[in-house]
Structure formats: C-alpha cells, structure tokens
Amino acid sequence: MSTIPKVTEHYVARQEGGRVYYYKTGRGTPLVFVPGGSGRSFRNVTHNFANHFTCYVLDLPGADRSDLPRSWIATKNWTIPDYTMAVMEVLDHIGIQHCDLIGDHTGAMIALDIAANYPNRVQRLVLDSLPYWDLRRGEIVWESSYKHQYTDVDSYDVPVSSLLPSWERMKETEPDLTLEEWQIRDELIRRDRRWHHVHMYANSHFDTEALGPKVKAQTLLIYGEREVLRRGELRALNGI
C-alpha cells in the first residue's frame, strides 16, 4: 500500500536574481516540473509521479512564491534564456546533473531551451502546450493576442496589466476558476503590474522552432483538444 510522500519546501538564492521557490516530494530519479508561472498548476498531478520519481516543482522567477528577479528590476528586460539560466542555477544548487523535465506553456519553452543547449542534462522531455513558433510567428501572436491586453499604463506611460475583475465576475467567463487561482493571479498583478507584460513579451519573442532540431532527448508533446497552440503542433512534431 502506497503512502502519501512527504513534501518539503525550499528556496534557492540566486546570485543575480533573488530567490526561486521549489517544493520536493517523492523518491527515485529526479523529475523537474517547470510551470508557465506558478508551480501550483501541477498540484493535482505530482502525487501520481512521486512513488517513482523525486519530484522538484518550481515557481518561475517573478511568479507566486519566487521573487521578482533583481536583474529585471535593474534593467527592465527579461527573456526566456533568463528563465533558463534561473532554472539551471536551481538544478546546480540542488546537485541535479541529469533529470527528466516536464514543462507547461512557457515552462515548455524553457524545458526545450534546456534540452537543446544542455543535452547532457536531460534524459526525457514532456512538453505540454508548447508554443512552437519562429520570431515572425511569435510577433504575429504578440500583436494579435497579447498586446491588446495591456491597455493600462503606469506613470511613465509603460504598458501594464489591467487589474483583475472580481472572482465572482471572472467565474462567469471561467467557470472552472477557483478562488485560490484568482487570488494568485491577483496578487501577482498587484506585486508589479509591468511583470506580466514583460513575461508575455519574452514568451512571444523567442524562437522555439530554431531549437527543435537540436533536441536529442526522448520527447512527448501534449496539446489539449481545443488548445489554440495546436496550430504549431505539426511543426513541433516534425521539428523536434
């Protein structure tokens, strides 16, 4: 009879970027979960892996329990490779030299970047809803889907995220939304309303198609049946 694995919480203090949060559970070979933002997105699945793997679940820099990166605060610039370096620092700090990776949305882009540029560190790769585009397609996505979200500006006329509607109002358009999920989103936006804009700009201005042919690890691609990112599914399947 299996028991519920113990969960321990940790922080890694990066030299240039503030603290990155992760929690650890399970036993076995290392399995690292890289979310699109908060590691809470994996909270309903990690127990399925914990009897076979030692699971490490991160909050990305700037998300949930991790700090806003100090380097971004100083430069107001952030990219997917910056996320990659943060994750690699965490792995080095823990002492993980070889692992399996599960990435979700932006986390899938980061996991792909790690597998392409640090092939000796990754054995197997699971990419959930990977945005697979080149810079031209990414710019189109930015202009058509993301840019119009940032209708507010700060005192320096920099585009920022609008504050969220109330939980009750958002439930009308997102019926599966929980109060906890709304609170996390609301807290992150209020922490620094520019960060989400920077995060989505980095996401849409990164060439994942260029990385696909470099990946040698066994890779599983997952897309929801009605997932809009499936428009890049065949390119990803043929490119990785």
Q: Is 8 helix (H, G, I), strand (E, B) or coil?
A: strand
- For residue 26, the model assigns a pLDDT of 95
Nearest to 215 by CA among 80, 121, 84, 91: 121
pLDDT greater than 90 at residue 184: no
What is the mean predicted confidence (pLDDT) over 164-182?
82
104-125 core/surface letters (b: 16 or more CB in 10 A; e: else) = bbbbbbbbbbbbbeeeebbbeb
- For residue 160, the model assigns a pLDDT of 66
Percentage above 90 pLDDT, the chain: 60
What does pLDDT average to over the chain?
89
Q: Is 19 helix (H, G, I), strand (E, B) or coil?
A: strand
Q: What does the block give as tokens for 3?
A: 């028991």
Least confident of 43-57, 90-104, 141-155: 141-155
Nearest to 139 by CA among 83, 198, 202: 202
- For residue 2, the model assigns a pLDDT of 57
Cβ proximity of 139 and 205 under 8 Å: yes
Model confidence at 228, pLDDT cuts 50, 70, 90, reads confident
- Crossing angle for the helix pair 80-94 and 106-117, to the nearest 10 degrees: 70
Q: Model confidence over 7-47: pLDDT tens digits?
A: 999 999 987 778 999 999 999 999 999 999 999 889 889 99
Model confidence at 177, pLDDT cuts 50, 70, 90, reads confident
Cβ proximity of 119 and 216 under 8 Å: yes
- For residue 75, the model assigns a pLDDT of 74
Q: Model confidence over 86-120: pLDDT tens digits?
A: 999 999 999 999 999 999 999 999 999 999 999 99
Q: What is the DSSP letter of 69?
A: P
Residue 110: CA atoms inside 13 Å, Cβ hemisphere, count?
28
Least confident of 44-58, 115-129, 148-162: 148-162
Q: What is the DSSP letter of 146?
A: I
Length of the chain counted residue by residue: 240
Model confidence at 236, pLDDT cuts 50, 70, 90, reads very high
pLDDT greater than 90 at residue 70: no
